[in-house]
Structure 1
Amino acid sequence: MAANIVLPRYMRVGAGASQELAPLLQQLGVKHPFIITDQDMVKFGYLEGLTKGLDDAGIPYAVFDGTVPDPTVASINEGVAKLKQKDHDGVVALGGGSPIDSAKAIAHLAVFGGQMRDYKAPTMSDEQGMPLVAIPTTAGTGSEATRFTVITDEETDEKMLCPGAAFCPVAALVDYELTLTMPRRLTADTGVDTLTHAIEAYVSAKRNPFSDGMAQMTMTAVSRHLRTACNEPDNREAREGMMLAAMHGGMAFSNASVCMVHGMSRPVGAFFHVPHGLSNAMLLPAVTAFSIDAAPDRYANCARFMGVAGPKDSDQDACQKLLQELRQLNKDLDVPTPKDYGIDEQRFFEVLPTMAEQALASGSPGNNPRVPTADEIVEVYKQAWDGRG
């Protein structure tokens, strides 16, 4: 079966790419952009560095810096209302996954209206809203190259996965220099998020030759660069390697799918406000252990791509080496378990059935090599609680 590949129309990649916003907007015919970011981007000068080029080019703009971690329906509606105050004809996202996800939702609702719950999976949105330019400042989500956005419904504590080509940016400016000041915790969590994207895309039931190639490049790069980027934050080679890995990982899972880790991760973020990359990292070893016997050849290849197994290793041995590496990586990067993170134990175990149902409802676990039941998801959550999985 032919694969449907969706990518940004324009991508400018490399040091200084973010400074090419003005000519890119002119190329797209966008004359009055609406910039969506967060207060950290304002506080640390990233927004000023971006808008100087627009000022020099005489391009008028407005800024919305009210995005929040794990974007909510309320924050999206606020952004839509501010966009509609003036005659904007395009959207620019500056920041990590939350501002970019927010911008995707705002650009879509500004044209098509309704509420975000109208667009959650299994609804597929393919008709383009306002043109969106994404400028990532973290190396992790790959959101600049994906056809998804994730928005939290405060009424139900559900992280809604909203899919479709409509949510893929028209253009992306991928500038690794914007990640040089990322703190270690953020570097680690977004890096494991990237690795999760690649592994899940590679083992997904919806994989294809294109996504396989992107996933392989991502796993190799993360294995080579993530620890260095965490331990040597000024290492430009490592930072560039991780930024490219994030982009390739986004291309991989966007054109295949994510699986059980992401399905289980979203409810953890919604209920306990754990950052997305960190919740993925908490779950990745336990979910891999649950899934690995259903696709030993695929998981063995993951170990080989990451350099922890060689061609002479049997698939069984390679799979065990993969599990060992995922656990060691979390240890090296100081990834806490949910228990160590400080999540209330009683509340965690109380909402496990609800989290399991929300995970299944997202559709992502259905792409997993071993498709879980709700009871099995609950058991994997329990194993991940204190790391015994």
Structure 2
Amino acid sequence: MAKLFGSQELYHGLGSLDELKKIHGKKAVIVIGGESVKKNGSLKRVENILLSSGFQLEIFSGVEADPSVSTVRKGAKLFSEFQPDWIIGLGGCSAIDAAKAMWAIYEHPDLTFEKMTEIGGIPPLRSKARFVAIPSTSGTGTEITALAVITDREKGIKYPLVSYELLPDLSIVDGELCKSMPKNVTANTGLDALTHCVEAYVSNINDNYADAMAKGGIQLIFENLLKAIENPQDGEVRQNMHDASCLGGYAFTNAWLGIAHSLAHQMGGMFGIPHGCANALVLPSVIRFNMKSTDRYDDLAKLIGCGTSGEDFAQAVEELRKLSSVPSTVAEYGINEEQWFNAVDIMAEHALMDPCTGFNPRKPTVNELSAIYKAIYKGEIVNF
């Protein structure tokens, strides 16, 4: 019997937080990143709802972009001291991903990071706390996924933590929280969501539910991303992008991802390229690489009305990237050429070992991954 994986409960409004008091305890830690959720009022709204429901609260702030192992351990230490019943990740994907990893260590203090990086390496959770995800960016879909990405700063590697234990108990997908996102963040996160949908659709796992959600997300993104960039206060457009991100999360939680993510993880870990930007840089090349093993990109070209072939779809992705003002090449992003090419081989080796690579429709070699890295420096098209 098939099972659809995703958050246990999904809501569109913050008012649903009042439900927590009926479910499990009244002590909560809210995990946030920098100042954005304070400035836009999201944190205060969440605090007010919980305090009015009789909750005791602690705030863990300062989660950085690409959250580190040391930040995760600091959060887990606070959890251990406060003993929360609920852990709430509020903000961008970094805050929510970090909160998931903190949760795992809080529940299992002896759990090593090395064990967490193994697929299914996180033991059963929820003996101490349950999890709420409230995203304020429309990109990763982490509010609905069994995934968290944590960076080992010493190794310069991003590690995806993969376990269905990390699925949130409750997710709130409220587009109102995204209106303060800058244009570049809207663009990067939107293209991240697009990559999730595309990779889930062409994955080597065939799943009708994932396919439907991936295609729905792709349509919403092509129809709404540019509108969200130009008209950030448009509530309907923001909700459409938030829903598209969530659909992408549902899709890849059930069908997983591919080498676009494997490649992008290394670009973020080694060069600090924002994840959505990194995905956008590699996606057209990955489409062209995979076209020899799947005709599913033809479906996506027809879906958005840009043509009938995978190449038509790759070009549509490039056009959307250009119109979103996201860099088209690594050189345009500003990475030194010598530094980039010196790192290509080691990044390719790490990408080959990334868990996402196993779900790609075409099995790559390390040389082929290196070729993609080399090609995207100046936007060359490789004949695979």
**1:34–1:83 CA contact under 8 A, matched in 2:** yes
Q: Do 1:308 and 1:321's aligned partners in 2 also have CA atoms closer than 8 Å? A: yes
SS in 1 for 2:232: coil
Q: CA deviation at 1:164?
A: 0.9
Matched residue SS, 1:85: helix
Aligned partners of 2:31 and 2:46: how far apart in 1? 12
Among all aligned residue pairs of Structure 1 and Structure 2, give the percentage whose two residues are the same amino acid: 32
> Structure 2: which amino acid aligns with 1:380?
I
Tell me by how many angstroms 1:107 deviates. Answer: 0.8
Q: Distance in 2 between matches of 1:140 and 1:126?
A: 27
Partner of 1:375: 367
In the TM superposition, what is the alpha-carbon distance from 1:95 to its structure 2 partner?
0.5
- 1:334 to 2:325 alignment: yes
Name the SS for the 1:35 alignment partner. strand
1:185 is matched with 184
Question: Residue 126 of structure 1: CA displacement?
Answer: 5.8
How far 1:233 moved relative to its partner? 1.4
User: Deviation at 1:97?
Assistant: 0.5
Distance in 1 between residues matched to 2:331 and 2:118, nearest whole Å:
30
- Give 5+ residue unaligned stretches, structure 2: none
Deviation at 1:105, TM superposition (A): 0.4
Superposed counterparts of 1:229-244, under 5 Å: 229-244=228-243
Amino acid at match of 1:328: E
What does 1:71-90 align with in structure 2 at a 5 Å threshold? 71-90=67-86
Please tell me the residue identity of whatever aligns with 1:265: A
Deviation at 1:123, TM superposition (A): 4.0
Aligned to 2:41: 45
1:227 is matched with 226
Cα separation, 2, equivalents of 1:325 and 1:383: 19
Aligned alpha-carbon RMSD (Å): 1.4
**Aligned residue runs from structure 1 range 242-261, under 5 A:** 242-261=241-260
Q: What is the TM-score of this pair, normalised by structure 1?
A: 0.93
What is the one-letter code of the residue matched to 2:311?
Q
On the 8 A contact 1:282/1:384 being kept in 2, the answer is: yes
User: Which deviates more from structure 2 when the two are superposed, residues 230-239 or residues 160-169?
Assistant: 230-239
Q: Contact conserved, 1:299 with 1:319, CA < 8 A, in 2?
A: yes
Question: Which AA in structure 2 matches 1:320?
Answer: E
Q: How many residues align?
A: 376
Q: CA deviation at 1:103?
A: 0.8
**Is residue 292 of structure 2 the alignment partner of residue 263 of structure 1?**
no
Per-residue CA deviations over 1:6-40 (Å, capped at 9, x if unaligned) read 21111112xxx12331x121132131011101122
1:6-155 aligned at under 5 Å gives the runs: 6-13=5-12, 17-21=13-17, 23-40=18-35, 41-113=37-109, 114-125=111-122, 127-129=124-126, 130-155=129-154
For the 8 Å contact 2:259–2:356, the answer to whether it is kept is yes
Does the CA contact (< 8 Å) of 1:116 and 1:151 recur in 2? Answer: no
**How far has the Cα of 1:45 moved from its partner?**
2.9
TM-aligned CA deviation for residue 223 of structure 1: 1.2
Task: Give the structure-2-normalised TM-score.
Answer: 0.94
Report the residue type matching 1:335 in the other structure.
Answer: V
1:306-361 Cα deviation digits (max 9, x unpaired): 2323xxxxxxx422221210111111111112111111221211111111111111
Q: Is the 8 A contact 1:11 1:171 kept in 2?
A: yes
3-state SS of the aligned residue for 2:165? helix
SS at match of 1:152: strand
